[in-house]
Chains A and B, each alone.
Chain A
Amino acid sequence: MIIDTHAHVYAYQDWGRLAEALDRYGIDRIYLSNPDELGGFYPSTDQIDRQNRVVCDFVRQNPKKARYMCYVNPALDSTIDTLKKAVEEDDAKGIKLWVATTCNSPQVNKVAEFAIDHDLPILIHTFHKYHLQLADESTGEHVAALAGRYPEAKLIMAHLGGDAYHGLKCIRNHKNVWTDVSGSNFRNGDVEYAVKIVGEDRILFGTDAFSMPFHTNIGKVDGAAISEQAKEKIFWKNAFRLFGEELG
């Protein structure tokens, strides 16, 4: 069983092919957002609404496997309205933050409080780089700061923090932060390191599909030198507990 907690869907893609891929690669559930199809790093309310609409439409067409993560730009006054609609009308299962603000910006406070009130995990794009870091791109430090300010919030530090050796130790002591393995990297040892630093109960499977291959992300967990129990937790059990949803 595989639950993909971090993937994206866009209007320009062949949705029939996407749905077929879920079956082919054994993905039982996939949590989707659309953070970047229209508005670049700093989208407007209208752009966000249209991007979220794409995800909702795909989820409606694939109700058995697909789930909606509501993307927001916390700098916008309309953020709470976007979130209310996502929960009340579109059955959002979580919130997605990208690079419109760092996740510990005061503008994110209202998002965190909403997430706590509605028991929604927040998936945070997190990528530390020594070169070409985006202006408002969150790193593990930012995630840790938010986690400390809101210990009741459930946060997901995406991509193991980008550079696992930077991000994971930042969140090590914050038990309300999970991390996902998604992305283009399949460095040998990263999953093992994640288990060592944050433990096997706080790691989630993710891919960054539908652009990044399911194959490589499945391979890096399958190939990791960790127990079969840990792999099962990563592939689905941890996500099952975090999102609190029955499968099937």
Chain B
Amino acid sequence: MIIDINTFYGHWPFRKLPCESMEEISASAAKNRIDAMIISSTNAIFYQDHFDGDEELAGALPPNSYQALTIDPSQPYFEDDLRLGVERFRLRAVRIHPEYHNYSLSDPCVTRLFDVLHEYGLPLLLTNTMEDPRALHSLPQKTLRADEIASMILHNKKIPVVITNASLGDWQTYKGLLEEYGNIYYDTSGLKFGLSDIIETVISEFGIPATHLLYGSHFPLYCRESILNYFSMDPVPEKIKELVLHGNAQRVFKI
């Protein structure tokens, strides 16, 4: 079984993607034997009313998948939008995009977000970067730093925080926090280094526990096949496959 916790639906405005429709996303999932997805709205990042993007997503969501609500905690109504999202959508997480919105991770609104997520029992999905910083569109974009993310995690309620598309190098910043609080997770989409037995190397040499690594593709911005090859081209132990490909997602997102 495979659960992809990091999939996007909607129009990415910075380059033309080969597949943006839910039919194409589902076809890719079927081709790659992905059984379920946690999907976030790309449109929600850029709509002034982010909730519009999530309503679109909810209307297109495949029956086997779940939604991560995009929230801008600097907006005064975000708690009400979250309440509506919990009531109306098949919600399993909240996603934030501070790199495209007008707040920083140390702002009080982020603390309030953590408090609210703690009340709802929802994890937070935080995208380290939507695209490789070396190949960003020419429009200036903020980039997040690992120390900012670590500080956010340290100073707020200890809900599960899943950092997506982050590098192995950045993990060293989070390692100590994980050992103390246990609430930090990484997805696989940013794992771009190594020769062979990549998943085992990530666990044994870089120190990301198998219980805190989740399969996420960052599709359709990234190729699904690229990361899935880590599991098909190398002899990954079954126990680790089960945890990374679905077990951790089932536990963290209560699927």
Contact = CB atoms under 8 A, between A and B. Distances in A.
Interface of A: 17-18, 20-21, 24-25, 127, 129-132, 162-165, 184-189, 192-193, 209-220, 222-225
B135 A24 contact: no
A63 B26 CA distance: 45
A212 B17 CA distance: 24
Given A25-B196, A187-B221, 20 more contacts: A21-B196, A24-B196, A25-B233, A127-B134, A130-B136, A131-B134, A162-B134, A165-B15, A184-B132, A186-B192, A188-B18, A188-B221, A193-B16, A213-B192, A213-B194, A213-B195, A213-B230, A219-B223, A220-B223, A220-B225
Contacts of B219: 188
B225 to A, nearest CB: 3
A188 B14 CA distance: 13
Contact of B132 (A21, A165, A185): A185
Interface of B: 15-19, 131-136, 138, 192-196, 198, 219-230, 233-234
A222 B225 contact: yes
Given A130-B138, A162-B134, A187 B223 contact: yes
A219 B227 contact: yes
B158 to A, nearest CB: 32
A213 B225 CA distance: 13
Contacts of B224: 188, 219, 223
Most buried by A among B15, B131, B138, B227: B15
Contacts of A186: 192, 222-223, 226-227
Contact of B229 (A127, A165, A209, A216): A216
Contacts of A223: 223-226
A225 B220 CA distance: 12
B223 A210 contact: no
A129 B135 CA distance: 6
Given A219-B228, A223-B223, A192 B18 contact: yes
The 7 closest A-B pairs by CB, nearest first: A219-B226, A223-B225, A219-B225, A215-B229, A216-B226, A186-B226, A163-B135
Contacts of A127: 134
B135 A21 contact: no
A222 B230 CA distance: 14
